[in-house]
Amino acid sequence: MDYLVIGAGPAGLQAGYFLQQAGRSYLIVESGPAAGTFFTRFPRHRKLISINKVHTGWDDPELNLRTDWNSLLSDEGAPLFTARTPRYFPDAEDMVGYLADFAAAHRLRVRYGTRVTGITRQGGASPGDFLARDQDGNTYRARRLIVATGVRLPYLPDIEGVHTAERYDEVTTAPADFTGQRVLIIGRGNSAFETADNLVETAAVIHVAGPGSLKLAWQTHFVGHLRAVNNNFLDTYQLKSQNALLDGHILRIRQQPDGTYVVSVSFSRVQEVVKDIVYDRVILATGFRFDPSIFAPDCRPELTINDRFPDQTDAWESTNVPGLYFAGTITQVRDFKKSTSGFIHGFRYGVRALHRILEARYHGRPWPARGLPATAEAVADAVVARVNRTSALWQMFGFLADAVLVDGEDRESREGREGREGRNGAVRYCEEVPVDHLHTAVAEGRFGDVGRYFTVTLEYGEGHDKVNPFDITAGRVSQQDTTGLDGRYLHPVVRSFDGAAPGKATAEHHLTENLENEWDSEEVHRTPLRTFLRDRLDAPSPAVRP
């Protein structure tokens, strides 16, 4: 077969959908009895933090995806998660049911109860078919592998005695089991605070500990940081209700003969003073990591970020195993704690981009493009239409870009071709290309001869994660200013590049702030953008690579 997809979670099903639409031979294998097995256990307290806004006031399905963080993409626009439940923060069971509906509705080729136990490569380390073996000894051969298994193993930090603590994935979730106890939760993410909130009514004392400053999603715009729905615990700390946030490093955990723990904490804000604190329970909520154990040594992917994720190229391919690709939350290495590749509302677009990369590399189908006249007016109209409607650039801010590609020829030749349609047009408009991949692909000639090109992204201003969006005493960029970005808001950014020096911006233009996220004013948005584009479209074309 062309592709073997491992994992029938949201990323695996999304990959299978696009492969099926393209007519590729593929199979999805899933260890569990149904799609989305992960969600039968996680999150432990059964409430998702991916929003599900049913009533948007919009009729446009593309716009609706901006506030629908759970639906997968399909040409049919169905099934949608929003049709399953009206809850803004839905239950995990709703996700399990939705994924089963999606797989059935599109008749995806999934083999359940199939746990891959080993992966080798025909011919050893050299490129060749992958061979996957399941628990029953069956073998599956595929030219390429897409791993969408998520991060299923707990990440255990390097702390003395860490193995004596209870883990988030195993500890009881019954609040009554913690009645009157002193509890330490190690970790600063949503799983840690979800656990703490669950114990507020019963535990005597709760401490949540971790290094560095606590990061709040409403300020950093990274939805993996602490979400408001999980931060009630902070009230109990700041209003002096016996709970506390400990800023520091856990040095060691020592379990005593009576079952209690003595934990040594090195505090960050008092000259690294170390204090021993006694607890009845210690819970690890320190995240998860990728499991590489199924890979034979000759095709085992290299790992990165404390060995938590497989290292990947800008095409989501293993850096050391050609033909091994990744999809889903494990692709967050490319925008770690910056954008949304670790979440369904981000990686669903990443999977679509991966599919387009694979189609171009192996099946002779270039990235979808539409032709535009080589005029500032035509390009500006296309850009404005997209930034006012796109969900992909909205969700994957700063990571995905629409690309405006100008053919590599002199101005006179280009003017003679203005208005021609299709791939042979003077300008090609390609949607939702990963920014890093675009620069690499232009350099390698994968988009043809490109004289110059523009990227269109939605971005927050530099240092946006340091700005308090509710502080009205802090200055901000004028609403008429096109030279800079205000960290409080999402802005469309258009950058210009020479095809001969891809990745090095020659100029950039910001569409001005708009609190309603509608960038369509003739005077404020369109006219300045046309001027920016005209200056660059009319400039002499840079030299084209030989």
Kindly give the confidence (pLDDT) of every residue in the chain, 546 residues in length, as a single tens digit, with 9 standing for 90 and above. Answer: 999 999 999 999 999 999 999 999 999 999 999 999 999 999 999 999 999 999 999 999 999 999 999 999 999 999 999 999 999 999 999 999 999 999 999 999 999 999 999 999 987 666 789 999 999 999 999 999 999 999 989 999 999 999 999 999 999 999 999 999 999 999 999 999 999 999 999 999 999 999 989 999 989 999 999 999 999 999 999 998 899 999 999 999 999 999 999 999 999 876 778 999 999 999 999 999 999 999 999 899 999 999 999 999 999 999 999 999 999 999 999 999 999 999 999 999 999 999 999 999 999 999 999 999 999 999 999 999 999 999 999 999 999 999 999 998 644 444 444 443 333 348 999 999 999 999 999 999 999 999 999 999 999 877 778 878 787 776 666 555 555 555 567 889 999 999 999 999 999 999 987 767 789 889 889 999 999 999 998 766 554 443
Q: Which of 172, 292, 186 is nearest to 246 (CA)?
A: 186
DSSP-based helix, strand, coil % in the chain, nearest 5? 25, 25, 50
Assign 3-class secondary structure to 350-362. HHHHHHHHHHHHH
Query: Residue 412: its pLDDT value, please?
Result: 44
C-alpha to C-alpha distance for 90 and 84, rounded to whole angstroms: 10
**Does residue 291 contact residue 119 with C-beta atoms inside 8 Å?**
no
Q: Is 454 helix (H, G, I), strand (E, B) or coil?
A: strand
What number of residues does the chain have? 546
- Residue 95: predicted pLDDT: 98
How many CB atoms are closer than 10 A to CB 420?
15
Per-residue pLDDT at 542: 53
User: Residue 415: its pLDDT value, please?
Assistant: 47
Token pair for residue 397? 């801010």
pTM of the model: 0.93
Which amino acid is it at 260?
T
Is the CA virtual torsion 224, 228, 229, 235 positive or negative? positive
> What pLDDT was estimated at residue 452?
95
Q: Which of these, 460, 465, 502, 520, lies nearest to 484 by C-alpha position?
A: 460
Output the pLDDT for position 255: 97
Cα gap 533→294, rounded to integer Å: 51
- Interatomic CA distance for residues 233 and 477, integer angstroms: 34
Angle at 153 between CA 147 and CA 157, to 5 degrees: 130
Element (H, E) at 244: strand 244-255
Write the CB contacts of 373 (distance below 8 Å, at least 6 apart in sequence): 418, 419, 425, 426, 427
Q: How many CB atoms lie within 10 A of CB 183?
A: 22
Write the burial class of residue 525 (CB in 10 Å: 0-12 exposed, 13-18 middle, 19+ buried).
Answer: buried
- pLDDT number for residue 543: 47
From 10, 409, 49, select the one nearest 217 (Cα to Cα): 49
Q: Which pLDDT belongs to residue 127?
A: 76
Q: What is the pLDDT of residue 408?
A: 82
Q: What is the DSSP string of 12-60?
A: HHHHHHHHHHTT--EEEE-SSSSTTGGGGT-STT-B--S-B----S---
First to last CA, the chain: 37
d(CA 174, CA 168): 13
Complete domains list, the chain, with CATH: 3-153+288-362 (3.50.50.60), 162-284 (3.50.50.60), 371-537 (no CATH)
